[in-house]
Amino acid sequence: MIIAFYKPYGVLSQFTPEPGTEWRVLKEFNFPPDVYPIGRLDVTSEGLLILTDEKPIVRRLLDPAFAHPRTYWVQVEGIPSEQAIQQLRQGVVIRGYRTRPARVRRLSEPLDLPPRNPPIRFRKNVPTTWLEVTLFEGKNRQVRRMTAAVGHPTLRLLRVGIGKLHLFTILREGEWKVLNHKERRLLLYRAGRNK
């Protein structure tokens, strides 16, 4: 079984609470027994989280050898120059590691996003920009560290797609569903090969 979940802001990608915090956890969303998240979205990130009880799916989605695409909408502080965007495309050095090349493009502000609670910090004299970033690897807090490395800290981060499965075509915030055969194929898609 593979489950897609639209994780809201403020929910940990785990079933047990962290001692001393008030963050919500996956347990409160009543998932079927024996499913676990594949990878993570940090507590301040939103969007598509996959859970499964199928071990081969875990390897297929996490092993960098499969170059499985993950797409994010990222609201950053300021207006990145073409040079900054090109740096993100080519890979940047974060914590002594050069990231793999990524697909990056500017977005007009995404429509129909639920408001974030709490809202991002607003500064009257500092504009923000939305980017679409597609990664082919998954390091801890990678998108946030990449945008910070080019001088544009991330203010809001949503994972909107994995493979060719797009979050907004199947779910609303806080919802989950078991993927059907077609959705599984979209999830497991990778450029150049789809088995």
Whose tokens are 């990145």? That residue is 80
Largest CA distance in the chain: 49
User: Cα–Cα distances in Å, from 47 out to 5, 79, 82, 154, 181?
Assistant: 8, 23, 27, 15, 21
Structure tokens at 175: 């919802």
First vs last Cα of the chain: how many Å apart? Answer: 17
β-bridge partners, 46: 158
Write out the chain's pLDDT in tens, 195 residues: 999 999 999 999 999 998 888 899 999 999 999 999 998 899 999 999 999 999 888 888 877 777 789 999 999 999 999 999 999 999 999 888 899 999 999 998 766 788 888 877 777 778 999 999 999 887 888 999 999 999 999 999 999 999 999 998 889 999 999 999 999 999 988 654 443
Q: How many Cβ atoms sit within 10 Å of the Cβ of residue 122?
A: 8
Q: How far apart, in whole angstroms, are the C-alpha atoms of residue 73 and residue 106?
A: 10
- Quick one: pLDDT at residue 6? 96
Q: Which residues carry out catalysis?
A: 42
CATH code linked to domain 2-188 = 3.30.2350.10
Containing 7, the helix (H) or strand (E) segment is strand 2-7
Q: How many Cβ atoms sit within 10 Å of the Cβ of residue 191?
A: 12
How do the domains of the chain map onto residue ranges? 2-188
φ, ψ dihedrals at 85, nearest 5°: -65, -40
Structure tokens at 92: 């940047």
Helix runs in 31-171, H state only: 55-62, 82-90, 142-149
Residue 153, classified by CB atoms within 10 Å of its CB into exposed (0-12), middle (13-18) or buried (19+), is exposed
